[in-house]
């Protein structure tokens, strides 16, 4: 069974600081990785996709991928109260056309 | 600009009753998915359809059946509902290859 692991949190970060969210995965040949944000009672929404080793930046968000270590992370700079949500890491199963999710990390930004 | 539409939004069933959750997408996506989400469990894949005419089991298929009616529609059926199927159900779709999922708004199901 292929797995995606995340620390469930909650992760508490002061407003304006950098929030760092981590994810490891078991499928060595996965090529596609995604970060979703989910507010309570809402559906997941895509923040970032990353496919190559290294960093990918989009506004205050940076995704980092290290395929050799089977590790993907999400950094949120200048954290805002509106960033308080659950962040889901998702990884493509390379053997089938499906995406596997981690259990999510709950992030709380304190004023 | 509807995206992925799920019906109903809420449903209460008694144990043993059956129902079908409907999902339709208007983005001409090839692949469609059904996930369930329980507290602290993340999203678990029930069934998926990589392309029109195909369906495959995910992590937790027991107690469910699916139908890919056409390219737009993918339904999930509970033949005999059980309290363990109380959950939030999300339908999602994506284009082929390595594209991300687009989610519907979810169906909150309670089985008593």
Strand partners, B88: B37, B108
Per residue in B68-112, pLDDT (tens digit) is: 989 999 999 999 999 999 999 999 999 977 899 999 999 999 999
Contact A31 B98 (CB under 8 A): yes
Which of A76, A102, A60, A100 lies closest to A11, judged by CA? A76
Is-contact B89 B111, C-beta < 8 A? Answer: no
Per residue in A36-73, pLDDT (tens digit) is: 999 999 999 999 999 999 999 999 999 999 999 999 99
Closest chain A residue by Cα to residue B42: A103
Chain B residue numbers touching A50 (CB-CB < 8 A): none
Which candidate from A8, A34, A104 shows the least CB-CB separation from B100? A34
Closest chain B residue by Cα to residue A96: B50
């Amino acid at each position: 069974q292929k797995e995606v692991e995340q620390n469930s949190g909650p992760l508490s970060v002061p407003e304006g600081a950098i929030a760092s969210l981590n994810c490891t995965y078991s499928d060595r040949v996965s090529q596609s990785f995604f970060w979703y944000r989910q507010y309570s009672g809402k559906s997941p929404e895509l923040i970032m996709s990353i496919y190559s080793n290294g960093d990918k930046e989009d506004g205050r968000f940076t995704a980092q991928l290290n395929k050799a270590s089977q590790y993907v992370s999400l950094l949120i700079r200048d954290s805002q109260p509106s960033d308080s949500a659950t962040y889901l890491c998702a990884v493509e199963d390379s053997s089938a056309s499906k995406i596997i999710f981690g259990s999510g990390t709950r992030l709380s930004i304190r004023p | 600009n509807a995206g992925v539409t799920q019906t109903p939004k809420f449903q209460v069933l008694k144990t043993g009753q059956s129902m079908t959750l409907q999902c339709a997408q208007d983005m001409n996506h090839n692949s469609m998915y059904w996930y369930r989400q329980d507290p602290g469990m993340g999203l678990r894949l029930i069934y998926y359809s990589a392309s029109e005419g195909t369906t495959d089991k995910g992590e937790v298929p027991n107690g469910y059946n699916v139908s890919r009616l056409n390219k737009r529609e993918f339904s999930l059926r509970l033949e005999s509902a059980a309290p363990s199927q109380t959950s939030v159900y999300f339908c999602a779709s994506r284009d082929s290859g390595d594209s991300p999922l687009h989610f519907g708004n979810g169906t909150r199901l309670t089985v008593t």
